Amino acid sequence: MDNIKNGRLQFGLFIKDGIIFFLSKFGDMGWMDAPFRVALSPDLTTLQELNEDMGYSCSIILADSLNGEVKVLRFISFSTLFSIKLKEAIEDQFVDFFDKDKYSLKLRNIMSAYTTENMVTMSLVNCKIK
């Protein structure tokens, strides 16, 4: 819990075959990856415009899955460059036709071909938060 609450945070974006992998590292824990396709988030229809020195924010919530108790809550902001690259990648997905079966196949192929550490070394952009 201390790594998430107080640790240095690192994030990256790896994009392959139209799938965004959101990479995250909390303190001295290992890197984690989370695939993202905007078609699977139907409520996300627009993205906030970014000006200079602006970045998207994120709430990090660590909750006990048994009782729903929030153990850690941390609010962060990504760098302007990271936010711009994330916005561009999501906007590319808005115009890309989505086929769930093809997505599943691509995701399986990517996950079998790349480790999370591979994705980190090939990430498009990185962001560090102290």
Q: Identify the domain containing residue 35 by its residue range.
A: 2-129
| Residue 96 reports pLDDT greater than 90 | no
DSSP string, 62-115: EE-TTT--EEEEEEEE--HHHHHHHHHHHHHHHHS---HHHHHHHHHHHHHH--
pTM of the model: 0.92
Number of domains present in the structure of the chain: 1
What confidence tier does 1 reach under pLDDT thresholds 50, 70, 90?
A: very high
Q: What is the pLDDT of residues 29-49, one digit of tens each?
A: 999 999 999 999 999 999 999
